[in-house]
Amino acid sequence: QRPTYSQLYYELKKVGLKPKDLRKLFATKLVDKGLGIKDIMEVMGWSALQTADSYLHMLFHFLFYRCMQ
Protein backbone atom coordinates (compact mmCIF):
# COMPACT_ATOMS: atom_id res chain seq x y z
CA GLN A 1 0.00 0.00 0.00
CA ARG A 2 1.29 3.44 -0.94
CA PRO A 3 1.96 5.90 1.88
CA THR A 4 -0.22 8.98 2.12
CA TYR A 5 1.20 12.47 1.76
CA SER A 6 0.82 12.95 5.53
CA GLN A 7 2.79 9.79 6.24
CA LEU A 8 5.52 10.80 3.81
CA TYR A 9 5.68 14.31 5.26
CA TYR A 10 5.94 12.86 8.79
CA GLU A 11 8.80 10.53 7.80
CA LEU A 12 10.66 13.34 6.03
CA LYS A 13 10.21 15.63 9.01
CA LYS A 14 11.74 12.99 11.30
CA VAL A 15 15.01 13.25 9.36
CA GLY A 16 14.86 17.02 8.91
CA LEU A 17 13.65 17.17 5.31
CA LYS A 18 10.71 18.80 3.52
CA PRO A 19 9.05 17.77 0.24
CA LYS A 20 10.76 20.68 -1.53
CA ASP A 21 14.12 19.15 -0.53
CA LEU A 22 13.22 16.04 -2.54
CA ARG A 23 12.30 18.21 -5.53
CA LYS A 24 15.66 19.99 -5.31
CA LEU A 25 17.47 16.67 -5.05
CA PHE A 26 15.61 15.34 -8.07
CA ALA A 27 16.34 18.48 -10.10
CA THR A 28 20.01 18.21 -9.13
CA LYS A 29 20.10 14.60 -10.28
CA LEU A 30 18.61 15.64 -13.63
CA VAL A 31 21.44 18.17 -14.04
CA ASP A 32 23.93 15.49 -13.03
CA LYS A 33 22.55 13.25 -15.80
CA GLY A 34 23.14 16.03 -18.34
CA LEU A 35 19.61 17.29 -18.99
CA GLY A 36 19.29 20.84 -20.23
CA ILE A 37 17.21 23.49 -18.49
CA LYS A 38 14.30 23.14 -20.96
CA ASP A 39 14.11 19.39 -20.32
CA ILE A 40 14.38 19.89 -16.58
CA MET A 41 11.59 22.47 -16.67
CA GLU A 42 9.36 20.00 -18.51
CA VAL A 43 10.09 17.10 -16.18
CA MET A 44 9.62 19.26 -13.08
CA GLY A 45 6.41 20.79 -14.41
CA TRP A 46 7.73 24.35 -14.52
CA SER A 47 5.96 26.45 -17.14
CA ALA A 48 8.11 29.56 -16.80
CA LEU A 49 11.74 30.21 -16.04
CA GLN A 50 10.69 32.37 -13.08
CA THR A 51 9.12 29.29 -11.50
CA ALA A 52 12.48 27.57 -11.61
CA ASP A 53 14.34 30.54 -10.12
CA SER A 54 14.46 29.19 -6.57
CA TYR A 55 15.99 25.97 -7.86
CA LEU A 56 18.38 27.48 -10.39
CA HIS A 57 20.74 29.09 -7.88
CA MET A 58 21.18 25.71 -6.21
CA LEU A 59 21.73 24.01 -9.56
CA PHE A 60 24.38 26.52 -10.58
CA HIS A 61 26.22 26.01 -7.28
CA PHE A 62 26.08 22.27 -7.88
CA LEU A 63 27.46 22.63 -11.42
CA PHE A 64 30.25 24.94 -10.23
CA TYR A 65 31.21 22.43 -7.55
CA ARG A 66 31.21 19.58 -10.10
CA CYS A 67 33.44 21.59 -12.46
CA MET A 68 35.94 22.34 -9.69
CA GLN A 69 36.46 18.67 -8.80
Confidence of residue 62 (pLDDT cuts 50, 70, 90): low
Whether the model clears a pTM of 0.85, i.e. scores above it, the answer is: no
pLDDT at 14: 94
For the chain, give the DSSP string: -PPPHHHHHHHHHHTT--HHHHHHHHHHHHHHTT--HHHHHHHHT--SHHHHHHHHHHHHHHHHHHHH-
Q: What is the pLDDT of residues 9-54, one digit of tens each?
A: 899 999 999 888 888 888 878 877 888 878 888 888 888 776 677 6
